[in-house]
Every structure is written in C-alpha cells, then in structure tokens.
Amino acid sequence: MQEGNKNKGIKLGALMVVLFLLMYIPSLFHWIYGKDIATDIIRSGTIEDSFNLDGLIIRDEEPIDSPFEGKYISEVGEGEKIPLKYKIATVLKDTSAKELEDLSKLDSEILKLRKEKSEKQGLFSQDIIKLDNNIAEKVSAISTACNENNFEKLVDVKKEIDIIIHKKAEILSSLGTPDSQIGALSLKRNNLQAVINAGTRQIYANSPGIISYYVDGYERVLNPNTIDTIKVDEITELLKKEIRPEVNLGTVQVNKPFAKIIKGIYIYIAVIMDKKQSDMLKLGKNVNVRINDINKIVNAVPVSISDTNGNKSTVVFKTDKGLSETTFLRKVNIDIIKNSYDGLEVSYKSLFDINPDGKMGKIVLVKANDAKIRNVEIVGRSGEFAIIKSIDKKVDGQVSLYDTYVINPSNIKEGQLIIK
C-alpha cells in the first residue's frame, strides 16, 4: 500500500511539474526572446523631403507720401484690391481736430442766436426744436470724438451738423437778414472752415493694386528690378535686422510714405541657399513653397540663381499666390518642398538590409506573436520616418495598413516569438 501511495505521489508531482512548465515556458521564451521589443502600428501618412529657410519678400510697391504731419483715416482695409483713382485715406493735420471742435462751437453759437431771434418773433415750430435737439446731440458727439482722438468720427459728425443747419436755415429763411452779430460769427465760421479744408486732404490711388499701410522703408530698395543683382551679404544683413513700420499706424509725417500700392500679381521671395541645395533647382521649374507665416503652400518658380559666395547662392522664387495675405510681411520663413510622399508610414530605423540606392529594404512584422520578415519598397524618407510600399504580390507576404511592426529589428529572426 505504501508503494502504491508513493507512485501516486510521484505521478501527481510530475503532473504539477508539467503544468508549471506549460505555464512558465511561454513566459521564459518571452523573457529570452521578446523582452523589451518595441512595436508600433503602420499608419497612413504623408512626409516631405524639404528644407527650411528665412527669406525676404520683394514686391512692385508704390509708396504714398503724406502732404503734412498729422493723422490719417483709412478708407480701405489692409490687403484689399482697389481700382485706379480710388479714395484710400483722409489725411488731417494735427491742428485740424482742435479746429473742428472750434467750428462746432461757432455753429452752436450761431444756432443759439438764430433761435433767440426766431423765438422773439414766435416762429418756432416743433420741427425746429427737433433740429436743435439733434444739433445739441451732435455737438456733444464732437466733444466725445475729440476726447477719443477719433478723427474719422469728427469728420462724419461735422457733415451731419452741416446737413441739420441747412435744413434749419430753410425754415428760418423767412426771418430775414441775420443781424450783425450772426453775420460776424458766420464770417468767422467760413474762415475757419477754409483753414480746416486746407489741413485736410483726400488721398487717391495713382495705380490699381492692393493697399497696405505697413511701410518699412524698403519699398524702393527691394523691388523686382533688383532681383538679379541682390547679393548674399545684403540678404544676410537684412535678415539680421528687425524690420518694422517706419511710422505708427494711423499717423503720418510730412513728405514721408504712410501707405503703399502693391502693383501686379506677383511676389518674389529671396533666400540664401547652400550651393548643393540650389544646384537641385532649375530656372522656371515649379516647386512647392510653404510660407509658414501664413501656413500656406504656394506653387513657385526660381527666376534667379546667382551670386555664388563660397558655398552660398542667392535664389529668388516668384509666385502669384499669397499676395493679399502677405502685405504686412517683409521677412518670411519658408519650406522648400522638393518631394511629398503618401502611403504607409513607418519609423525609418525599423527598416534594415537597405540596398545601396536606398530604394529597397526589409521590415519585421508581428503576426500571431511571431516575427515575419517582409521585403518593401522605400518610396521616400524624411528625418525619422519613411513611406513604404509592399512588393510581395502574395497575400501572406504583403505589408498592410495597421500591421504591427518592430521598431528596432536588430537581431530579430524569422519566426521569433514576440509578445505584443
């Protein structure tokens, strides 16, 4: 009996050992072969073969000078297209604001005297009273506008007061010739109005184009006529400078530009390239350029490749896109996109046994926890990522979207156990 119990114990122990091994061996294999094997999923993506540069925008620009110092009221928004002879701004001398306020006070005094005169004669009507109330409101609005330094509002309110005065004058015309006091005030008002008119100028466009109020002083220096002669050193120095508007928006200086008309349909972007990069370009052959400042990709052509200075060249691109969106820019950051690839995106370090021309390679997929090596075509690469394409026509040998792959395939063998 004891021997039988002993045999049963041995069998039970052996069974437990077998069960333990069945549970432990996969973990042992994972620990030996699959430990710390990083994987990822193949995704659909787009990568670019590009390089980043800083550049200068060159345009055909016509500066518009101010006849005197003061303020301007823009009549057109930044970047808007305008026809020939279109009104773009009203320029006012600094003194015009005070003169407009004095004019409103004179109008108020004249109206007060006329009201008193008409009241004596008993000729006031409800219409005249309403006009007086309107005038009082407008006079108050002028004071507010002066305090706010809102010259555009001053001009508008003045026009409204003139209209009301004319209406009232028609009603009061039956009162006869104004007395000497009213006449003296009216003469003074007319003289003041002439002074205001002399200090106010309507500015009209001499050319059709796009309006911009960002004047940086390089309008006459950087123009299409200079693109073939601009030097590497000149671009380098300009890119180092902080380029900003010469005058504050809304202000003008005598005989200095406060706005400009951008003519034509093209903008030019001048950059400095390594000679190796510029040698890849051909005059007149389209390339895609991303203007990062406005996050827009435009089609452009190199129109000048010149002034090789050591290993550097000046390259100028021309495009008819992005003109309105870049009116406020002189310096830009761009990407020259040599190629763009769409397809299956993977980490470039997941590829191995890459042939000398970099067009073919291998990748390790994970299928049912086993390593499967697949041949792939390398469509393109940018930095850490690559776009690949399956080349095996057999279904079980293809590489597909959402397949799991090994990021670092070093020492991975076909059929090796890999626990995801």
For residues 313 and 333, give the distance between their C-alpha atoms in angstroms, rounded to a whole number: 17
Q: What is the 3-state secondary structure (H, E, C) of 244-265?
A: CCCCCCCEECECCEEEEEEEEE
Mean pLDDT over 83-100 rounds to 80
Query: Among 183, 198, 213, where does a domain finish?
Result: 198
403 contacts 44 by C-beta, under 8 angstroms? no
Find the helix packing angle between 151-172 and 126-148, rounded to 10°: 160
Residue of 83, 171, 159, 93 lying closest to 132 (CA atoms): 171
Phi, psi dihedral angles at 342 (to 5 degrees): -120, 145
302 contacts 24 by C-beta, under 8 angstroms? no
| CA 229 to chain CA mean position, Å | 29
Containing structural domain, residue 401: 39-47+342-406
**313: three-class secondary structure by DSSP:** strand
Query: Which one is predicted more confidently, 142 or 397?
Result: 397
C-alpha angle with apex 283: 282 to 288, nearest 5 degrees? 70
Task: Mark whether 180 and 107 lie in a shared domain.
Answer: yes
Is residue 208 in some structural domain? no
For residues 257 and 67, give the distance between their C-alpha atoms in angstroms, rounded to a whole number: 10
How many percent of the chain have pLDDT more than 70?
Answer: 78
CA distances (Å), origin 225, targets 41, 59, 228, 229, 354: 53, 10, 7, 8, 49
Task: Mark whether 114 and 177 lie in a shared domain.
Answer: yes
Mean pLDDT over 373-388 rounds to 92
**270: three-class secondary structure by DSSP:** strand
For residues 49 and 61, give the distance between their C-alpha atoms in angstroms, rounded to a whole number: 34
20 pLDDT above the threshold of 80 = no
C-alpha angle with apex 260: 298 to 292, nearest 5 degrees? 25
What confidence tier does 70 reach under pLDDT thresholds 50, 70, 90? confident
Mean pLDDT over 359-368 rounds to 94
Query: Among 198, 230, 264, where does a domain finish?
Result: 198
206 pLDDT above the threshold of 70 = yes
Whether the model pTM is above 0.75: no
34 pLDDT above the threshold of 50 = no
Count the domains in the chain: 2
Which residues, 6+ apart, have CB-to-CB distance to 124 below 8 Å? 115, 118
Is residue 387 in some structural domain? yes
For residues 189 and 105, give the distance between their C-alpha atoms in angstroms, rounded to a whole number: 10
Mean pLDDT over 393-411 rounds to 89
- b/e map of 299-321 (b: 16 or more CB within 10 Å)? ebbbbbbebeeeebbbbbbbbeb
As a whole number, the mean pLDDT across the chain is: 82
Q: Are strands 251-252 and 39-41 parallel, antiparallel or unpaired?
A: unpaired
Is residue 126 in some structural domain? yes
Percent helix, percent strand, percent coil in the chain, to nearest 5: 35, 35, 30
Identity at 354, one-letter amino acid code: I
Residue of 414, 388, 415 lying closest to 403 (CA atoms): 388
For residues 318 and 268, give the distance between their C-alpha atoms in angstroms, rounded to a whole number: 5
Question: Hey, what are 162's tokens?
Answer: 């003139």
Task: Mark whether 120 and 179 lie in a shared domain.
Answer: yes
C-alpha angle with apex 82: 77 to 87, nearest 5 degrees? 75
Is residue 317 in some structural domain? no
Is residue 110 in some structural domain? yes
DSSP states of 211-256: EE----S-TTTSSGGGTTT--HHHHHHHHHS----SS-TTEE-BTS
Q: Give the Cβ contact number of residue 66 at 10 Å.
A: 23
Is residue 184 in some structural domain? yes
275 pLDDT above the threshold of 50 = yes
DSSP states of 356-384: TTSSEEEEEEEETTEEEEEEEEEEEEETT
372 pLDDT above the threshold of 90 = yes
pLDDT per residue as tens digits for the range 292-351: 999 999 999 999 988 666 788 899 999 999 999 999 999 999 999 988 899 999 999 999
Is residue 172 in some structural domain? yes
Is residue 298 in some structural domain? no
Task: Mark whether 43 and 129 lie in a shared domain.
Answer: no
Mean pLDDT over 81-92 rounds to 91
- What pLDDT, on a 0 to 100 scale, did the predictor assign at position 397? 83
What confidence tier does 1 reach under pLDDT thresholds 50, 70, 90? very low
Query: Among 146, 174, 198, where does a domain finish?
Result: 198
Question: Hey, what are 163's tokens?
Answer: 């209209």
CATH at 369 = 2.40.420
